[in-house]
Each structure stands twice: as C-alpha cells, then as structure tokens.
Amino acid sequence: MLWLSLTTWSLHRNLGPLRWTRWDEAHAVHVTEETPQPELHTLLELPGILADKGFKTMEVCHFQFPDTGEAYLKRLRDAFRKAGIRFHSLLIDYGDISSADEVRRNADMAWIRQWIDRAALAGAERVRIIAGDADPTNREALQRSADALGHLAGYAAGKGVRVVTENFRRLASTAGNCLALVSACGGRIGLTSDFGNYQGPDKYRELSLTVPKSESIHAKAVTDANGMPDAAEFRKCMDIVKHSGYSGPITLVYDGPNDMWEGIGRLQALAAPYL
C-alpha cells in the first residue's frame, strides 16, 4: 500500500523564516542564522490543510519550526491528531556524525538528541538523521556514522521514536553505504530513499537497491527552469517503487520556482496512478 505524504520543504517559501544551524569552528559552537520568508501558512495549520488535500502523512524539516518550546510542540502534536494525519518524520537537516573532529561530532550528537526530544513531544514517529558529510570512500567515517546512528537509535527508542537515515549528503550518496549503515545497526535504523539524491548513470540501479529497504520515499522530480517536471523520468522512478514491494508514504518534494502549491499539484497528479 502506498499513500500520499508531503515534506514541508515543498512549501518552504510559504512557511515563514528558515532557521539554519552551522558550526563555528573558531569558537567550537553552533550558530543559528535566519533567512526571512513570507508566512502564508503556519505550521500548526498545515496538517489540516494537507488532510483536506488528500495527504495521509507529513514530514517536517527542523529548520521550519517557529518555536521549540514544550507547549508549542504539544500544540503541533494535537494539530496532527485533530487533522487525522500522521507525523511520519521530523527531518533533522544538520549535523555531521561522521566527522573526525571529536569536539564537533560530540556537539552535533548532543544537538541531535535535543531534536529527538522535540520529535517525541511533537508526536513524530521518526527522525531522519544525516549520515554525514565525509567522502563516501572513507571507511573510518562510515564506521563513525554507524556507531553514532546506533547510539542515537537507542536514545530515540527510549523516547518512542525511530531513527532513519537517507541517501543524502556525501557519505550516504551511494546505495552501498546506505545499506551498510542499515546492516551495521542491525535493524535499529530505517532508511529513506530520495529520487533526486542519486546522480549519474547508476541512479536507477541504486534506487532499486535502497527502495525495498526504505520506510519513506522522497518523490522529487527532475524539473526545468519553470518548475515543470520530467514526467517520464518521474514515472521511471515510481515504477521502481511499484515493482519493489515497497509499502509506505510517497512524500512529494517540490523545490522549484513559482507557486509551490502548483508545483506540488503537478507531482500529485503524476503520483496518483500509483497510489
């Protein structure tokens, strides 16, 4: 069974300021900076809006939370319950758990644990943690990432949250590394496959390897300068999903120009025959 889901990144120009975190190496601290954006919808309104549009689940990027206090997180949890859709995953879009810099790595781990705590309060079923920014051929970095993911999975399980990683950023840019991380953690972590994160001639082979092991699919189309999707390419990716035995959310990812709801609508139409 496949169902329709949406990541808040697909509405990033509509949900107010983006709050980016970076590592200040000179002072060994995390710094958060804000990018102004118009607020056409609030995050609290979005579960109800998506439910009305036929979505069953939602994934939320961490940098789009306007408030991380306990009261707000519980209001968000209640908004999901009232709308009748599930908070499938909180997407933690920062942190390099593969770093050889122990100070940086430990600071990022502590920062990620804070977001796991917030995910639990907000009712998220999963947190997506980036495997790391190290070169994909660096086996020591791969082991550091596996060790960190295993630790974080144990921490999250105690909060009722499952950890997944994704074919995102350098270390997990190959199917082999994605599957190695899942295997090293002995089933304690899951996987997300994003159509847009594999590149080059091996894209479809690599998708065919990770999709069957995935717990969500980020269905991102190749688009032109006007945000129009390459329909044939998108269907080729969706055919891989259809024939893989995958069951779970098809999370639409639109980050092209112009009206974001129109872009989402084009992807929704392409995905509809597979649901």
Report the distance separating Cα 101 and Cα 166, nearest Å.
22
51 band by pLDDT with thresholds 50, 70 and 90: very high
- pLDDT at site 263: 98
* Rg of the chain over all Cα atoms, to the nearest angstrom: 18
Report the distance separating Cα 101 and Cα 104, nearest Å.
5
pLDDT average, residue stretch 88-112: 98
Q: Which residues pair with 162 in a beta bridge?
A: 126
Answer whether 74's CB lies under 8 Å from 43's CB.
Answer: no
Kindly tell me the burial class for residue 126, based on how many C-beta atoms sit within 10 Å of its own C-beta (0-12, 13-18, 19 or more): buried
- pLDDT at site 18: 97
Answer whether 56's CB lies under 8 Å from 85's CB.
Answer: yes
- pLDDT at site 111: 98
pLDDT in tens, 234-272: 999 999 999 999 999 999 999 999 999 999 999 999 999
pTM for this model (two decimals): 0.97
Share of the chain above pLDDT 90, in %: 99
52 band by pLDDT with thresholds 50, 70 and 90: very high
CATH at residue 104: 3.20.20.150
Average pLDDT, the chain: 97
For residue 236, the enclosing domain spans: 2-274
Reduced to 3 states (helix: H, G, I; strand: E, B; else coil), residue 69 is coil
- pLDDT at site 94: 97
pLDDT in tens, 197-218: 998 899 999 999 999 999 999 9
Q: Give which of 88, 81, 89, 35 is closest to 62, Cα–Cα.
A: 89
83 band by pLDDT with thresholds 50, 70 and 90: very high
- pLDDT at site 117: 98
pLDDT average, residue stretch 186-190: 96
Share of the chain above pLDDT 70, in %: 100
Reduced to 3 states (helix: H, G, I; strand: E, B; else coil), residue 225 is coil
- pLDDT at site 120: 98
Q: How many domains does the chain have?
A: 1
